[in-house]
Amino acid sequence: MALSDGVAGISPNTLTILGCGALGSAILFGLLASSAEEATEKTLNGADDQEQEKPLPNGDDHETFEDEEDLPKPSRIIACVRTEQSAEHLRKQLAAKKHSLSVIVVQGENARAVQAADTVLLGCQPQHLDSCLGAPAVRKALKGKLLISILAGVTIPQIEEVLTRTDSKLTARTNGVASPIANGRTTSIIRAMPNTASFVRTSTTVITACSVATPVALRLVKWLFNCIGTVTYITAAQFDACTALCGSTPAFFALFIDSLLDGAVALGLKRSEAQIMAAQTMKGAATLMLAGEHPEVVKEKVATPGGSTIQGLLELERKALRGTVADALIKCTAAASILGSKQA
């Protein structure tokens, strides 16, 4: 579909996603699922329930905003992809999902898609940052809008450098309308890192923002990522470590479970059944720790004197599991820090 077939001018509450790869698509479908649930709940409860008392903010990272209904939540999404094959695949996925938002899938129309939105989610590959945002028309269209980047290893200053390159065309008056959640004619940039669990809306997302990001922009971004999991604010200096800890470790955990499955199969269990048991056991242990128990306490509760668990733990310690895992996280952080420098 050409963008002109589905977009007439500039609409408020439109989110454009530049790059619907694994994470971009996960966020898209997480938003659609959340929107569908919200619409169903309103239908079931009736319009009067919108006036019911709302919980007060409690100061933690998962509070509900008192005026959440006033947030400029997206009512329409424009999903931009690089190839027609990707566009067709995404359209088929959307056709199979029930959702209440308007979604337009376009291919190769980044500038027009950005111009039509007030919030832009940047989800391309880190090495494609320059080709995605560097075009004068895209930089011009981003003026006065909110840009949310989920690019691993790409810092806010790196994005600002791409957007502020000298170009005479950018001094001309833009045809777009500044977003009410951005700061004047300056592009407000917020950096976020969700993970692959966005697909099942249990992502852990970390967020940091540029100095000109408005309170409304921060609240909107928090609401957006709360649709697919939990949100934690961090400093820019912590971002690469959190990219490794939150973004990469699902693969670490998958490797650990896969190793358990190999052992289980060797012991005569069916792999499919062992996977359910191992994953549920990991989920249970994680739930205990999320409830406040220290990992050491969980371990001590299971490793009773003279039991079988302590024998397995000693074997893991002999094979240096603790140091190996810590070193893997450190290596992963170092790799994340240079992803943004590999420009295509």
pLDDT tens per residue across span 308-321: 999 999 999 999 99
Q: Provide the mean pLDDT of the chain.
A: 84
The two tokens of residue 325 are 């895992």
pLDDT score at 181: 57
- Helix or strand (DSSP H, E) at 77: strand 76-81
- Tell me which of 55 and 152 has the higher pLDDT: 152
What does the DSSP 8-state code read for residue 64?
Answer: P
Share above pLDDT 90 across residues of the chain, in percent, rounded to a whole number: 57
57 pLDDT more than 70: no
Torsional sign, CA 124, 130, 131, 137: positive
C-alpha–C-alpha distance, residues 305 and 285, integer Å = 20
List, edge to edge, every strand of the sheet that includes 188-193: 102-107, 76-81, 14-18, 119-122, 146-149, 188-193, 203-209, 229-233
User: Phi and psi (nearest 5°) for 41?
Assistant: -65, -40
The two tokens of residue 317 are 């310690």
Q: Of 39, 33, 137, give the one whose Cα is nearest residue 93.
A: 33
pLDDT score at 49: 52
Best mean pLDDT range from 163-172, 214-223, 317-326: 317-326
pLDDT score at 46: 66
pLDDT score at 59: 39
The two tokens of residue 176 are 């777009």
68 pLDDT more than 50: yes
The β-bridge partners of 121 are 17, 148
Give the model confidence (pLDDT) of 113-129 as tens digits.
999 998 999 999 888 89
63: helix, strand or coil = coil
On whether the CB atoms of residues 232 and 281 are closer than 8 A, the answer is no
Give the model confidence (pLDDT) of 229-287 as tens digits.
999 999 999 999 999 999 999 999 999 999 999 999 999 999 999 999 999 999 999 99
112 pLDDT more than 50: yes
pLDDT score at 170: 43
70 pLDDT more than 80: no
pLDDT score at 11: 52
pLDDT score at 324: 97
pLDDT score at 69: 63
